[in-house]
Chains A and B, each alone.
Chain A
Amino acid sequence: MKDKNFEIVAAAQDTGGEAAAGKWYDAAKATFTTLVDTRHAVSTAFHLINVPMGIWIDERGRVVRPAEPAWTSSRTDTFGGKKLEIEGEPYVTALRDWVVNGDASQYVLSDEEFARRVKPRSAAELEAEAAFKLAVWFHQEGRPELAAKYFERAQALNPDDWNYHRQEWSFTPQEAGKKWLEKFQKQTEPYYPKLELKPKGG
């Protein structure tokens, strides 16, 4: 889709930096723009609480579609008896349609639908971002105990944010799976929001 004046920017939300993310980019033989976002700046800017998430931005910098799960294929997994649904193909179909048709694409959200999906950050969410950034700084300074303290602060302030949790858990990989499963099973909201590619009237 290169010839359509279209660019893919991948942003690894990885406090571990190139050491953590680089080998995956190598393995994917990435031909797109590859970023290493140690402080999760993209998630902060676009209000993302999980990965992978996609945002569509048009030529003028307008957000065509805000955060939604960005998979390339569909499947249903089961973890501890609870289903996790991943929808990929419809997302890729919609993306191709927008790349070809631009503003005329049926997948361009209306302003009303955008406003329904994107809400201002709450005070707790904003404070969580500041706490997370402090945790990342301590991690990079080689002070893991202080990093853990502020990762936990961020998690407490914004418990729905999977990135805050999973980033910290990645530093104690032997417990990460168990912690993930526990939170996944407790959660009442879907792990990934259901794709709403064409909302009512759209």
Chain B
Amino acid sequence: MAPAALDARAATAPPAATVLYDDKAVALHAIGRDPKRAKEALWIRTQDLPRINEFEVKPQGACRADICIPIPKAMVRGRYFDLTAFAKKIGEPVVVDTDARVWSFGEIQALGGSFVEGRMAPDVTVPDRAGRPVHLAHLRGKKVLVVTWASW
């Protein structure tokens, strides 16, 4: 447990990195150093992985629900996990602004393949006008027309 004073400082300091994935932006205050000092590499605390993308490092690999992806030893160093190397391994696109220290991760194909392959509607979560999240999957049992438009 960190002392309370340290927690308070972490909450007000600018994050060491911001990670965008799905509908979340996760601010990370503690990150690891890349052994090769590569600016685009992002070593997160292994304990932060689940709140980024719901994966968890286990003896058999990085796992989420019933999917486990074996990971090479070099992807974990002490308390840290090489998130950008993991993305590369699973074919997840990443676009990074190294000055602002924001990493934007795209879709993980292994999780969302059932639209193209199996014709199933992806479970998109989008806020309504009041900002309340609406899950398209909650409309099962009805016929649904999803129609996009834009003010522009």
Name A's B-contacting residues (CB within 8 A).
4-14, 16, 18, 20-25, 33-39, 41-46, 48, 51-63, 70, 95, 98-99, 102, 111, 114, 118-121, 123, 126-127, 129-131, 133-134, 137-138, 143, 146, 150, 153, 163, 166-167, 169-170, 176
A177 CB to closest chain B CB (Å) equals 11
Q: Identify the B interface with A (CB < 8 A).
A: 18, 20, 23, 25, 91, 93-95, 97, 100, 102, 104-107, 109, 112, 115-116, 119-122, 124-129, 134, 136-137, 139-152
Whether B95 lies near A37 (C-beta < 8 A) is no
Q: Which residues of B contact A121 (CB under 8 A)?
A: 107
> 5 more A-B contacts (CB under 8 A) besides A11-B147, A13-B148?
A14-B150, A35-B129, A53-B147, A61-B120, A150-B97
Closest to B94 in A: A130
Tell me whether B141 and A52 are in contact (CB under 8 A). no
Residue of B nearest to A180 (CB): B152
Q: Within the assembled complex, what's the spacing in Å between the Cα atoms of A42 and B146?
A: 9
A34-B129 Cα distance, complex, nearest whole Å: 7
Query: B145, A54: Cβ atoms under 8 Å?
Result: yes
- B127 / chain A contacts, CB cutoff of 8 Å: 35-38
Q: Contact between B126 and A134 (Cβ–Cβ < 8 Å)?
A: no
Minimum CB–CB distance from A79 to chain B (whole Å) comes to 16
Would you call A57 and B102 a contact (CB within 8 A)? no
B142 touches A10 (CB 8 A): no
CB atoms of A7 and B126 under 8 A apart: no
Decide if A13 touches B149 in the complex (CB within 8 Å). Answer: yes
Closest B residue by C-beta to A173: B152
Asked if A62 and B119 make an inter-chain contact with CB atoms under 8 angstroms apart, the answer reads yes
Please state if B93 and A129 are interface contacts (CB–CB under 8 Å).
yes
